[in-house]
Amino acid sequence: MRLRPKAGEEQAPVTLALTILHNESATTAGRTPPDAPARARQPGRLLDSHGRTIRDLRLSITDRCNYRCVYCMDPDFRYRPKQALLSLEHYVTMARVGASVGIEKLRITGGEPTLYPQLTELIRELGAIGFADLAMTTNGSLLDRMPLEQWRHDGLDRLTLSLDSLKPERVAAITRTATSPQTVIAAIRLARNAGFDPIKVNAVVMRGVNDDEIADFADFAREHAIDMRLIEFMPLDSSHAWNRDSVVCADEMLKAIGDRYELVALNGADPSSTSVNFRFGDGAPGRIGIIAPVSRPFCGACSRLRITADGKVRPCLFSHEEWDLRALLRDGATDDQLAQFLIDSMWTKQAGHGIGTAQFTPPARTMSAIGG
Ligand code: SAM
């Protein structure tokens, strides 16, 4: 993958193989997890077999997206048919059941969640459950037509936006749309006016694509007083263009920023947090978060569980196993049965993603079909 020309080269086209992926793992469709041992059932606490407590639910509410980011989804990516997706009632049920077994934080994601027609109603229902933290990840492109103040009032605590370059032509090439950084700058303003604080902005850093902008992202964090989070490229792209050389590792990102600004590590972060966080030594506003699942895996402290828009429980982002909740929901399962399903599913969570191992193979689903 290379969007950025080398010195003396013309602007290179986006060189990604086009592959149509089917979003469902053929091997695990319709499967239920094996029974977890009795010790897995602890009141108000969701455990896995490696001693981790699961507190964070990433709930994907759509696999649709209005972008086709080069690191995520090919232009001809096929969505699941609408009938295959869960209903609003199902999402709310799973959030409520999740809370009953110990989920404290919920992040709404996708696909692009603002494409979900009942989003405002869903936020109201999720807000009423009373999570310690209710957040949403969005590309921000549609926020100008969303009732942000209503969402804030209804209990949405935080918004995370995505912006992978500060250069308009590059944003257009990465997202394969006509969008520009101005869209996200406008979204930051709208979110702040509606009372969202802090506002996080994610950028996936890729070799040859945007790795010359790392320190500029720090400028952006300072200028807009946001938490800028730089993410290592993960093998979750539908074109399977990921390779080790395309990853810009945390050390390199920190050096690039450190050469321009002094960074001071922020202590006291939640150990299960995906990011290592810094403030600027000169007291400027804004913060930097580095998310380094490839070079500094944080699996040992992972507290996450994912439910996809088509009702699969994925214990790990890189799971090859996923468990079919949809059939149970459609059969009218009780809350207790659904809770047991989550307990059994999470007991199968793998110890680590294994990206660094020779045996690693990426999952069949892209990030957009899992929920980032
Ligand atoms: N559409 C929303 C958005 O753009 O933020 C939410 C879904 S998106 C899949 C969630 C996050 O996953 C984004 O911040 C995106 O940059 C990140 N992401 C997607 N594919 C990735 C990959 N291959 N490696 C690292 N991060 C990725």
Q: pLDDT tens digits, residue range 12-39?
A: 433 333 222 334 444 445 699 999 999 9
The rounded Cα 307 to chain-centroid distance in angstroms is 12
Asked whether the predicted pLDDT for residue 337 surpasses 90, the reply is yes
Phi, psi of 172, rounded to the nearest 5 degrees = -65, -40
Which are the contacts of 262, defined by CB distance < 8 A and separation ≥ 6?
280, 281, 282
Atom of ligand 1 nearest to the CA of 71: 23
Q: Is 204 touching ligand 1 by the criterion CB < 6 Å?
A: yes
Dihedral (Cα; 339, 344, 346, 349), 10-degree rounding: -170
Q: What is the pLDDT of residue 13?
A: 39
Global confidence as pTM = 0.93
Name which of 313, 309, 300 is nearest 348 in CA terms: 313
How many Cβ atoms from other residues are within 10 Å of residue 149's Cβ? 13
Atom of ligand 1 nearest to the CA of 233: 24
The structure tokens listed for 233 are 């490229």
The DSSP secondary-structure symbol of 249 reads -
Q: What is the pLDDT of residue 1?
A: 62
Above pLDDT 90, what percent of the chain?
A: 84
How many Cβ atoms from other residues are within 10 Å of residue 234's Cβ? 21
Q: What is the pLDDT of residue 8?
A: 52
Dihedral sign (CA 79, 80, 86, 92): negative
Contact 85, 59 (CB under 8 A): no
State in Å: Cα 347 to ligand 1 middle. 26
Band of residue 372 on the pLDDT scale cut at 50, 70, 90: confident
Q: pLDDT tens digits, residue range 261-307?
A: 999 999 776 777 889 999 999 999 999 999 999 999 999 999 999 99
- Mean pLDDT of all residues in the chain? 92
Asked whether the predicted pLDDT for residue 42 surpasses 50, the reply is yes
Phi, psi of 254, rounded to the nearest 5 degrees = -65, -35
Q: Which of 231, 243, 304, 314 to mutate to test the pocket of ligand 1 (most atoms within 8 A of CB)?
A: 231
Atom of ligand 1 nearest to the CA of 160: 5
Q: pLDDT tens digits, residue range 238-267?
A: 988 899 999 999 999 999 999 999 999 997
Atom of ligand 1 nearest to the CA of 110: 7
How many Cβ atoms from other residues are within 10 Å of residue 133's Cβ? 12
Q: pLDDT tens digits, residue range 90-131?
A: 999 999 999 999 999 999 999 999 999 999 999 999 999 999
Q: What is the pLDDT of residue 6?
A: 57
Q: Is 179 touching ligand 1 by the criterion CB < 6 Å?
A: no
Q: pLDDT tens digits, residue range 309-325?
A: 999 999 999 999 899 99
Any bridge partners for residue 289, and if so which? 229, 277
Q: pLDDT tens digits, residue range 47-70?
A: 999 999 999 999 999 999 999 999
Contact 163, 201 (CB under 8 A): yes
